[in-house]
């Protein structure tokens, strides 16, 4: 019977799970239209080491496959780089068989594992710079708190020059090919930036600090073995450089108009604003997105790429529409920096939506350039002209941050 594992180097074997069917992650918080993988690795040196496991629904399959690769009793150490269930979910099944095997993790990792599984396993807590001798190679631990959980950690393997980075540099991207040079690179980078935008944006200052700290160790890196998606083998530095770029208040020459609409009046306004922007600046990329029809995480990625956003909604029951409500809650949590915003919307009476959108965008840290425009009922020729003029103004006032 052929094994499900994949050999990476003479000493390291991939023993994870590729999940082609996964369409949502973190409950429904993150869309994974291209699936994902839970990468786990087995190191064979004088000592045998397992790095991370897989998500709970695959726990039995994981342990069964692992047994085909190694007698579980021959595993000397387990490294738990991160205790979120997509990587620790198979521990219960695994530790049932080898309950005394030491689990190396951060102090926060041990707390979270106990909080999740309520088991008193043999945790050995480690700090940045501490090492574990496994024979010819050593494992060097690097804590990475809040990238993206308090317990997050990376493990570096000397000799093989592998950084086991866990979530960092990963993507929700199912592939059987395993390496970055063997997959469609447009898809790969779309998923990598989506992952950064939706998960790591609030921690960007820490990302820059941590990358510089790791680079200061001057450790050669031949492979970055992530816990989701591809292994960075061809020029692994490229994803580190991308992270430094994305973490530095990233933006492209893009303005995204995000709206919802009931009878198309607000959509008509959105299109006129877009026309006004393009009239002044034909180089800026303008995208229109109906928030009720597009994937929320893709919208977040477009906001991440934008120097400014224009948000529009009609007024219903004195509020703005719910598709924007959910989205703006996500936006507030992500704490985007250095981005402009403006608002618009149609109304029949009241017209509170624009004011409420302004308040929420301000709370989210956007720089509002105007009090916004409202139009009563269906926009006529003059109203469309007003929207165009508004767009022209935004084209000038949404300046690039670099």
**Of 84 and 271, which has the nearer Cβ to ligand FEO?**
84
Q: Under the criterion CB under 6 A, does residue 17 sit at the interface with ligand FEO?
A: no
Residues contacting 267, CB < 8 A, separation 6+: 259, 261, 290
Cis peptide before 148 (omega within 30 of 0): yes
Which of 215, 78, 83 is CA-nearest to residue 148? 83
Q: Under the criterion CB under 6 A, does residue 306 sit at the interface with ligand FEO?
A: no
Q: Closest distance between ligand FEO and the C-beta of residue 239, in Å?
A: 16
The active-site residue out of 45, 86, 93, 360 is: 86
Q: Under the criterion CB under 6 A, does residue 260 sit at the interface with ligand FEO?
A: no
Q: Under the criterion CB under 6 A, does residue 87 sit at the interface with ligand FEO?
A: yes
Q: Does 87 participate in catalysis according to the annotation?
A: no
How many other β-carbons are positioned within 10 Å of the β-carbon of residue 46?
Answer: 10
Q: Does 322 participate in catalysis according to the annotation?
A: no
For the chain, the residue count is 402
- Cα Rg for the chain, rounded, in angstroms? 24
Q: Does 172 participate in catalysis according to the annotation?
A: no
Q: Under the criterion CB under 6 A, does residue 32 sit at the interface with ligand FEO?
A: no
Q: Under the criterion CB under 6 A, does residue 172 sit at the interface with ligand FEO?
A: no
How many other β-carbons are positioned within 10 Å of the β-carbon of residue 382?
Answer: 9
The active-site residue out of 52, 167, 191, 271 is: 167
How many other β-carbons are positioned within 10 Å of the β-carbon of residue 190?
Answer: 16
**Of 83 and 261, which has the nearer Cβ to ligand FEO?**
83
Provide the 8-state DSSP code for 262: S
Report the distance separating Cα 362 and Cα 70, nearest Å.
Answer: 56
- Please provide the DSSP assignment of 304-332 as one string: HH-SEEEEE---BTTB--HHHHHHHHHHH
- Segment contacting ligand FEO by CB under 6 A, of 79-87, 211-219, 298-306, 365-373: 79-87
Q: Under the criterion CB under 6 A, does residue 52 sit at the interface with ligand FEO?
A: no
Would you call 36 helix, strand, or coil by DSSP? strand
CB 317 within 8 A of CB 349: no
Per-residue contact flags (x/-) with ligand FEO for residues 220 to 239, judged by CB under 6 A: -------xx-----------
Q: Under the criterion CB under 6 A, does residue 19 sit at the interface with ligand FEO?
A: no
Q: Does 118 participate in catalysis according to the annotation?
A: no
Q: Does 234 participate in catalysis according to the annotation?
A: no
What residues line the site for ligand FEO (CB under 6 A)? 82, 84, 86-87, 148-149, 167, 227-228
Active-site amino acid positions = 26, 82, 84, 86, 148, 167, 195, 228
């Amino acid at each position: 019977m052929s094994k499900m594992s994949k050999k990476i180097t003479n000493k390291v074997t991939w023993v994870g799970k590729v999940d082609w069917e996964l369409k949502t992650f973190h409950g429904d918080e993150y869309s994974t239209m291209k699936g994902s993988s839970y990468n786990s690795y087995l190191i064979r040196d004088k000592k045998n080491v397992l790095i991370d496991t897989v998500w709970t629904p695959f726990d039995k399959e994981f342990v069964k496959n692992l047994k085909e690769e190694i007698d579980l009793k021959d595993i000397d150490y387990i490294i738990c780089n991160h205790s979120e269930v997509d990587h620790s979910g198979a521990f219960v099944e695994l530790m049932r068989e080898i309950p005394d095997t030491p689990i190396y993790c951060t102090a926060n990792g041990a707390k979270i594992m106990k909080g999740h599984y309520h088991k008193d396993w043999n945790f050995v807590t480690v700090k940045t710079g501490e090492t574990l001798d496994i024979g010819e190679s050593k494992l060097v631990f690097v804590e990475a708190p809040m990238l993206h959980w308090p317990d997050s950690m990376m493990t570096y393997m000397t000799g093989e020059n592998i950084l086991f980075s866990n979530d960092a540099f990963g993507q929700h991207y199912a592939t059987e090919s395993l390496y970055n040079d063997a997959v469609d690179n447009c898809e790969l980078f779309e998923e990598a930036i989506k992952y950064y935008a939706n998960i790591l944006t609030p921690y960007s200052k820490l990302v820059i600090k941590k990358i510089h700290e790791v680079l200061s160790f001057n450790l050669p890196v031949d492979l970055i073995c992530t816990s989701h998606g591809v292994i960075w083998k061809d020029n692994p530095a490229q994803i580190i450089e991308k992270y430094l770029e994305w973490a530095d208040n990233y933006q492209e020459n893009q303005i995204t108009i995000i709206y919802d609409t009931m009878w198309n009046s607000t959509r008509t306004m959105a299109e006129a604003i877009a026309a006004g922007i393009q009239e002044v600046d034909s180089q800026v990329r303008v995208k229109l997105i109906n928030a009720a029809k597009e994937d929320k995480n893709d919208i977040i990625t477009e906001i991440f790429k934008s120097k400014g956003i224009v948000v529009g909604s009609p007024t219903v029951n004195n509020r703005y529409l719910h598709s924007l409500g959910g989205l703006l809650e996500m936006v507030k949590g992500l704490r985007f920096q250095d981005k402009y915003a403006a608002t618009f919307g149609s109304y029949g009476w009241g017209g509170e939506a624009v004011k409420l959108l302004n308040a929420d965008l301000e709370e989210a840290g956007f720089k509002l350039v105007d009090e916004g425009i409202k139009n009563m009922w269906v926009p006529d020729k003059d109203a469309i002209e007003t929207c165009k003029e508004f767009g022209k103004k935004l084209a000038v006032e949404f300046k690039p941050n670099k």
